[in-house]
Amino acid sequence: MKVQGVVRPPGDKSISHRAVMLAALARGTSEITGLLTGDDVKSSARVLRGLGADISTVREGATVKVHVSRFTSPVSRLHCGNSGTTARLMLGILAGQPFAATLTGDASLRRRPMRRVTEPLRAMGADIEEKGGDALPLTIRGGRLRALTYTTPVASAQIKSALLLAGLTGNVGVTIREPYRSRDHTERLFVHLGLGLHERAGAIVYEPSGRPVVPSFRLSIPGDASSAAFLVAAAVLAEGGELVIENVGVNPTRTGFLVVLERMGAHVERVNLRDEGGEPVADLVTRPAALRGTEVSAAEVPTLVDEVPVLAVLASRASEGSETVFREVGELRLKESNRLELIAANLRAVGVEAEARCNDLFVCGTTRRPTGRIDTARDHRLAMAFAVLGTVPGAEVRLSERASVAISYPQFFRDLKRIRETGQGKRET
């Protein structure tokens, strides 16, 4: 397989969630271009509409307009679909609202832990009623909050963002420390919009000044680094050619996978560097490479947690017998699936030596052609990662389903086919 051409990944999922939420808190009408059209972001838009927001249709190529006079008490449960980001960040927004609301989600989301967010929100004064233990559905009664100083138990952008949004809607100060720095899109948007956020002695500090007013804004969302990672991986595994991936967010809290790829022997060049709404953006030039094993430290994991599945796939194609170790990736058990165990099990299913041992993942490189059936558990990251493995010459990798990619990259299989079969990746406008 050879790769060639130009492709553009969809809008960044993390930034899309945060942009539409802050637009719904803004005074006036905001306009967002490049918003991800995946199911998770549509879940955020649906929940915000349930609170009275006027949000135009989220569709590919459209400028999405968001206008709200004020939030109102919802008439029914707010359904977050499969989106943990929607659920956890909306808990923060609802903590500062003078009414009650109930959040729920699909069967997968109702199994994911929420106390990591609800416990510090309770410490701020929110009244949260659990209906099924440490999971959705939850009823939150917001209102008057108090300031919070908090150290997160894990490096989590969702916890951090929920607390900052609670501080914003509740008009109280919030100081947050993390064991390692997680992705910082919320902080960058706060700073971009002039919302009183800064860093002090290693802590993230939000200090409101008077009554909080979020200004309306126009924002262009860069391409998603996590989605781009699958295209990068396909190019690295190719037998020849060069692929240009345009308009990718290269925020350093999101590009740990590029650092790891360099250690493994691949080189991804960043060109046309620029700034979009406080986020660094570049085009990525990727070529095939011979890979070697490496060790991914616990400190690196927050910058590449969503890329572990595709990095594990790449590690399986490293030089024969070389081992790659991912340290302290137990958080993957709490994703859309038990992602940690499924990565290892699926790699074994196609003939790779792999094991999840406590919170570590071990993958041994091989030159044997991958053959077998993959259980994606309807997890979009697993489906895309093993689809990339299926591009290896002679591979016979069968996915249990493909529809789950709609969560984050609806056009993934179209783009993967374009770059690998035709070698004529086309510029997306």
Model's pTM, two decimal places? 0.92
The answer to whether the peptide bond before residue 302 is cis (omega within 30 degrees of 0) is no
* Residue 107: partners with Cβ closer than 8 Å, 6 or more residues away: none
For domain 225-422, the CATH superfamily is: Enolpyruvate transferase domain (3.65.10.10)
Residue pair 238/286 in contact by the 8 Å Cβ criterion = no
Q: Order across the sheet with 64-67: list the strands.
A: 54-55, 64-67, 29-33, 218-220
Give dist(CA 267, CA 289) in Å, integer.
Answer: 8
Give the pLDDT score at 421: 57
Hey, is 94 helix, strand or coil?
A: helix
Q: Is 306 a residue of the active site?
A: yes
Query: Mean pLDDT for the chain?
Result: 94
Give the pLDDT score at 51: 97
**Assigned token pair, 186:** 């919320």
Give dist(CA 157, CA 183) in Å, integer.
Answer: 6
| Helix, strand, coil percent values for the chain (each to nearest 5) | 35, 25, 40
Per-position pLDDT tens, the chain of length 429 = 788 889 999 999 999 999 999 999 999 999 999 999 999 999 999 999 999 999 999 998 899 999 998 999 999 999 999 999 999 999 999 999 999 999 999 999 999 999 999 999 999 999 999 988 999 999 999 989 999 999 999 999 999 999 999 999 999 999 999 999 999 999 999 999 999 999 999 999 999 987 778 999 999 999 999 999 999 999 999 999 999 999 999 999 999 999 999 999 999 999 999 998 899 999 999 999 999 999 999 999 999 999 999 999 999 999 999 999 999 999 899 887 899 999 999 999 999 999 999 999 999 999 999 999 999 999 999 999 999 999 999 999 999 999 999 999 999 999 999 997 544 444 332
CATH code assigned to 13-210: 3.65.10.10
Alpha-carbon 55 to chain mean position: 22
User: Domain locations in the chain?
Assistant: 13-210, 225-422
DSSP string, 344-392: HHHHHHTT--EEEETTEEEEE---SPPEEEE--TT-HHHHHHHHHHTTS
Give dist(CA 94, CA 100) in Å, integer.
Answer: 8
Total count of residues recorded for the chain: 429
**Per the residue annotation, which of 306, 360, 375, 415 is the catalytic one?**
306
Give the pLDDT score at 386: 98
Give dist(CA 315, CA 261) in Å, integer.
Answer: 10
Give dist(CA 55, CA 309) in Å, integer.
Answer: 34
Give the pLDDT score at 429: 29
Reported as a single tens digit per residue, the pLDDT across 191-212 is 999 999 999 999 999 999 877 7
